[in-house]
């Protein structure tokens, strides 16, 4: 290829990258970087939508958060929800992925579509359907319980049951999506490994726990981190179905932040709570990464080759 042709090709590639990357970078700056910087800034101020003046107050908003009883309750509810959602979603996703991997191609494609579908449906629509299922008077769940001769349950109107009911909605809407991710990882495992272990006499359970799970470890870690993030940002079902009631039993952090920031117009306080939530998510994600990362064994000594 001639030097002139190489220059033209290089210019064309640079133009293509500029056309593709520049709009993406601008969009990322406008909708992610600038708002993130603004949230950090406002968290150190007394910004309020009702007042024009904004004053620097240091850590006052953070101190206010940890002395606010409602915020502490929201933090506790969110942590409990995460402890329910994260392990349940991971276990169900792994089991579903293993089941889909074991069936034929046509049935697998159909079931994958069915289980993946809730992840692309509006969370509001899903919440409204579950509102009907949980309804104390005419809901499907209570109709089944009464048909079996059991007592009807209050579900969303009970302080003891409401949070668990919301967690079930969240788990149902996301575990199919993560199962598809794990299914793709399982399909990528070399079949020769399974054939070799099968010749050695390993059963299906042994192959699953000793080969499949270790080889898709990175995908499981990804699912753990993403599920933790989703669990701590739990919002739509809590807003649509209960709005934090009964009492404060379903008052989760993102719902509390929304109420303070939008309904009460307390931008500074809402920003500080958002930063706290982000730090909590980063801490839990970091712990998961540390617990599941691969440990590389360092050699005890290093031998240098001796030249003859």
DSSP character string of 166-186: HHHHHHHHHHHHHHHHHHHHH
Is the pLDDT at 135 greater than 60? The verdict is yes
Whether the link from the prior residue into 246 is cis, omega within 30° of 0, is: yes
Tokens 């599941």 belong to which residue? 292
Q: Do the Cβ atoms of 256 and 65 come closer than 8 Å?
A: no
d(CA 141, CA 153): 9
Q: Which residues contact 296 (CB under 8 A, 6 or more apart)?
A: none
Residue among 252, 295, 305, 274 nearest 85 (CA): 252
Residue 5's pLDDT band (cuts 50, 70, 90): low
206-232 burial code (b ≥16 CB/10 A, e <16): ebbeebbeeebeebbbebbbbbbbbbb
Q: Do the Cβ atoms of 82 and 231 come closer than 8 Å?
A: yes
d(CA 153, CA 82): 24
pLDDT average, residue stretch 213-225: 91
Is the four-CA dihedral 226, 228, 232, 237 of positive or negative sign?
Answer: positive
d(CA 272, CA 277): 9
Residue 8's pLDDT band (cuts 50, 70, 90): low
Is the pLDDT at 306 greater than 60? The verdict is no
* pLDDT tens-place string over residues 155-183: 999 999 999 999 999 999 999 999 999 99
pLDDT average, residue stretch 270-287: 92
DSSP state, residue 117: G
Domains recognised in the chain with CATH numbers? 60-290 (1.10.3720.10)
Residue 305's pLDDT band (cuts 50, 70, 90): very low
Q: CA 198 → CA 53, 114, 206, distances in Å? A: 72, 32, 10
Tokens representing residue 26 in the block: 């601008």
């Amino acid at each position: 290829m001639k030097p002139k042709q190489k220059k033209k090709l290089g210019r064309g590639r640079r133009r293509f990258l500029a056309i593709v990357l520049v709009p993406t970078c601008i969009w990322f700056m406008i909708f992610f970087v600038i708002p993130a910087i603004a949230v950090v800034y406002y968290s150190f101020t007394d910004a309020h939508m009702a007042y024009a003046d904004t004053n620097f107050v240091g850590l006052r908003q953070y101190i206010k958060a940890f002395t606010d009883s409602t915020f502490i309750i929201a933090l506790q509810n969110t942590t409990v929800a995460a402890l329910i959602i994260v392990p349940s979603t991971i276990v169900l996703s792994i089991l579903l992925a293993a089941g889909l991997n074991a069936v034929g191609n046509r049935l697998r494609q159909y079931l994958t579509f069915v289980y993946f579908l809730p992840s692309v449906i509006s969370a509001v629509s899903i919440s409204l359907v579950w509102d009907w299922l949980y309804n104390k008077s005419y809901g499907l769940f209570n109709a089944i319980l009464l048909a079996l001769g059991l007592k009807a349950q209050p579900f969303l109107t009970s302080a003891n049951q409401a949070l668990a009911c919301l967690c079930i909605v969240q788990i149902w809407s996301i575990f199919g999506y993560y199962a598809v991710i794990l299914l793709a990882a399982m399909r990528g495992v070399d079949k020769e490994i399974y054939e070799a272990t099968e010749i050695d006499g390993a059963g299906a359970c042994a192959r699953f726990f000793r080969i499949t799970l270790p080889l898709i470890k990175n995908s499981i870690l990804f699912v753990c981190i993403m599920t933790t993030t989703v669990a701590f940002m739990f919002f739509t079902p809590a807003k649509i179905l209960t709005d934090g009631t009964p009492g404060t039993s379903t008052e989760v952090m993102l719902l509390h932040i929304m109420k303070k920031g939008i309904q009460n117009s307390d931008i500074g306080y809402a920003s500080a709570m958002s930063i706290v939530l982000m730090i909590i998510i980063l801490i839990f994600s970091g712990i998961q990464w540390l617990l599941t990362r691969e440990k590389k064994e360092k050699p005890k000594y290093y031998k240098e080759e001796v030249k003859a």
